[in-house]
Structure 1
Amino acid sequence: MASGASAQETPRVYIVSVPMEAGIDAEATRAGAAARAALRGIEGVDWRSPDQRFLGYDDAALGILDRAREQLDAGRQAYLQLELDGAIEQLRGAVENFDAAAVALEDPNDLGQALLFLGASHAFNGQTRDAIEVFRRLHTQMPFIQPDPDTFPPDVVQLYDRARPRDARSPAGIVSIDSNPQGAIAYVDFLARGRTPINVEGLIGGDHVIRVTRPGATPFVETLGVRRRRASTSNAYLVDTPGLEGLADALDEVRDASIETLDEVNPIGRIAGMLEVDKIGVIRVSSAGDGQVTMELLLFDAASGRRLVRGQGTAPTAVGELEASVQRAVSGAFEAALRPSQASDEEQIPAFTDEETPFEQNEEPSGPPEPLIEQWWFWTIIGVVVAGGIAAGIAGGVAAQGPPLGNDPGGQVVFTF
């Protein structure tokens, strides 16, 4: 098993997702991408190195992506302050860098926001033709990202509508995507569509970004021109990174794996070892019908094999709604499970440790048990409920006795979302 991080080290944390049945590979992949986006907002964890290993991109792509996100933040702030020339410069740079780092970009939200604010900045600056060009790309590649009337003025919303391509009402473009080996995940415009070989239909005519990925392999990316009522083809050849051969196979085996504890035979444990992480999360996705999926969220300590978190909930599959549900659940659950506990006014007991805290179940307590509402983890979970709308509970063994989560070998957070 992978060794845990010491109290002084930043713990390496990652999360993957798997479909529990055929036909929902796209939804499961989107859930994983949303979960990894949530990891970026959790302080005090290292998600970068396992992300590079899993998604197959190098340090150069990571640096470009970091710069793009910085430019997006700066450009959005400049737009809100009506510093339009500065906003256009920053946002144009963000779009260029997001495009350049396409191998590492597994969801369209950041690029879509950069395009949205860039188009709005052009519109405010009187550059109508430039604004229409930017908005047309949004219509073509990311029609689900639209200007919110509560955020953008009517002139911007009207210009966005004016930029809609002629075939937007009845898009008929088709892309046929295959790969060697087959069974890779195919993305069109940074949105997962399913496993190869696959035909993706209903595309607006124009340029579309094709991305084909396999865990542990360098992604294949190309921009492909699509014409209305005509099929275009894309063929990807994927090679596993040395040392990560078998990562994709292990991920496929998670569907039937034990979720009680990890060991070196368990595919979840093998994934943790190949990604060199201290904590490994898994989202198992099943169809719930009526445009919904059921998701089971698990978090394990790789060194001990102990399960820290188990949660379950349903979410709509619509683009944006699924992602928001996953991000709320992951942020709340992971922060609750990974947050250090407060043992006293002077001492912090870290949630990450290489050693198990002694836990004698047969030892008589020296006094009455601490009331539920005075235990640190109770208020941690209550904070999750308030912040994320997650109904949470605690495994009974933790409530009755023993050290808090992160030190108790038997403790875990159990919740629904």
Structure 2
Amino acid sequence: MFTARLLLLLALALSVNAEAQSSRRGKKKPAPTKVEPAPEPTPEPVAQPEPPPPPEPPARKVLENGLVVFAVPRASNAEPAATRIQEELTRALAAKPDVELVDLASAFPPPPPASLKEADALYEAGKTEYDNLDPEAAAAKFTAAADAYEKHPGAFKPQRLSKTLVFLGACQLLNGDKQGAKSSFLRALAADPLAQPDSTLFGSDVQAAFRDAQKEFNAQKPGMLAIDSKPSGARVTVRGEDVGVTPLKSVEVHPGRQPVVISLPGHVPYASYPQVASGKTSELKPQLEPLPALVEVRAAAARAASERAFDADTMPPDVATLAEKVGARYVVLAAVQQKKSAQAELQVWDVRTKNRLRGVELKPDSKDPEESTVAAADQVHGFLTGRPVAGPSSPSKLPPLVKKPWFWAAVVGGAAVVTGGILYATQDRRGNGGPLGPISGMPGLGF
């Protein structure tokens, strides 16, 4: 009886335990609740700032008394005479201490120099090959780099070219080409006579070969460069050093290729690498190409110096255009003709007051001092400074009626003065600079 009861209790305990196990297995752990992130607020559109407008070109600075001279040929056969007259008249006016000539170099800035990035990259590639003990590949890179440097004499960097050629010579020496190495060292010295191979980069064999080349270079007789240009008066630099203006008959230089740059305001700089032989003279006579801006200004000057414009009673629009483009107040125009000899008629406009000096004659080859360039410059100078400008012979060419003060009082409506045989109209007292102000521009009176 006791045993049966014990077995019943045991069976009941086992049954309860199994139910508890079954209950635990059936109860799953609740999955974590997925929390959706709160939607981010839509940002308000931010107004993008307007891109800044492209910078406007700087306004041309008008000098207080800036003056520019343009000599215009009336026919193609007068072009050489026009160039000569413009140069001589500009020099004569520049000699006046109170005349301010317009700087055409600022009015017509030259194009930026060419980039040397390609040459620099080839030079660095050559150094890499040289450091990797591949003198043949390095020589090819240095040769290309030297050619790239010499391609742009206007951006000439003598030290860069010289270093490139020293490396090239060192590569050629390693390749057994002693003659080629000497030639490269001579070229390096021609580019920079103070060149020396870096002792930390090159061994004693390169140093010795370079010294031999240097002795030969120093023993050579110098060569000469004869340099001219059309137009003349251009600035010349050789190896980056200023040597004067064209024409230049004898510029002494070291033998070898010499970088020459010829520049003239308003023209494309001319650059060349002429070969100069020891004891010989090499010539350069380039025709300088005008910049588009100068071509435009010359066209305006040609229209302003036409017969119709010279005879006009008012200032032609082309005069104002020309003055604005170069930043001048006074515009000197010389209409040039070539007959038996060169001759020119000058007019000068003051674009601020619209006053004009007219009828000035210039014959550069005449023996008459009153027709010389200096005399013409004196008359222009008198107009600029407000002094009487008629030459000694001018009153005798005027009709007697014109010399009478009452004639001017009636015609001009103002006062006239005759002093020392020189007649000129007084300025409008209102100061408005009208067409009948000083040097009023009455047709045919020449002042």
Larger Rg belongs to: 2
Q: Which is richer in strand?
A: 1
Normalised by the length of structure 2, the TM-score is: 0.38
Highest relative contact order (Cα 8 Å, sep 6+), 1 or 2? 1
Normalised by the length of structure 1, the TM-score is: 0.41
